[in-house]
Amino acid sequence: MRLILSTVLVAAGLAAALPTQAQRRTKGYTVLQPQAQVEISLTGDDYVFGAFNLQHSSIPLESNPLFTGLGIRLGYEHFFSSAWSWGAILDGQRQQYSLFDNAYEHFLAPEVFGRHWNTFGSVNFRQRLGVGYLLPLDQADADRFYATLRLDVDRIVPLGNGSLALRPRVAFEPIAYLRFQRDEYEAKEPFLDFSELRGEVGVRLSPRFDFTPWFAWQNSYSIGLPQYDANGNVKIAGGPRRYVQPTVGLDIRVTVGRPATAERRQLPTQY
């Protein structure tokens, strides 16, 4: 319990302290994101999975569609040992970026990652380092490499003598575009581009079926230019900005093949 509390405090501190300068904070409308998943277990703890999600924005507009986005994810992970693994994920998204003319953008994001899995008694502590490539399908010369580091801690709490169990978990993940050489004419960018602080409680009803309600603060960072009035006076100062997107999700997972048992460990639905 002390380890979980310490990790929560560290994650919250990192989320608040990474951008060190004073910043303007803008909070967006809440997004609802249900997701259905199918995991196929392989040898040992290895697996492949597929997932489909929908996004609904709570913006109160008459023209707002029921779903403002959808996503498809495919992934594979291989464990070299009980502590080390590597994998790959392909993420495809369709998202609405204009609320007034129903305009959408599409992109693919292949990613490779390595994971380290520590166990302290009944508590799991994992570190996941990934490198991906963001490929917008509607824009030319907008593709970028990015790096991500996720820290998460959880604990499986059995309820009774059956397979029913809870899995409280907290995760923090900063994401940054890889910048190799910025030309002088290019706009200055923040060191950190995105981050997510996520809390959840997974519910395992049987070895083949589980679901996870979760809540996340998803942050986007940018550096804004100052805005002036007609007289040249500064109306809004420039500098670091943070856009906060509250997101509420529900992941539903079906496991095919060997179910999660004492001999086979299963990752949370965030993978």
Residue 259 has a pLDDT of: 66
- How remote is the C-alpha of 164 from its chain's centroid? 26
How confident is the model over 79-135, as pLDDT tens digits? 999 999 999 999 999 987 665 566 788 999 999 999 999 999 999 999 999 999 999
Q: How many residues does the chain have?
A: 271
- Which residue ranges make up each domain of the chain? 2-18+100-256
CA distance 258 to 145: 35
Q: Give the global pTM.
A: 0.83
The whole-number pLDDT of residue 27 equals 86
Per-residue pLDDT at 249 exceeds 70: yes
Average pLDDT, integer, range 177-206:
82
pLDDT, average across residues 191-201: 94
Paired tokens of 236: 């809004």
Residue 59's pLDDT is: 73
Handedness of CA 127, 78, 249, 146 (dihedral sign): positive
User: Which of 4-8, 34-38, 58-62, 65-69: highest mean pLDDT?
Assistant: 34-38
Query: Does the pLDDT value for residue 185 go beyond 70?
Result: no
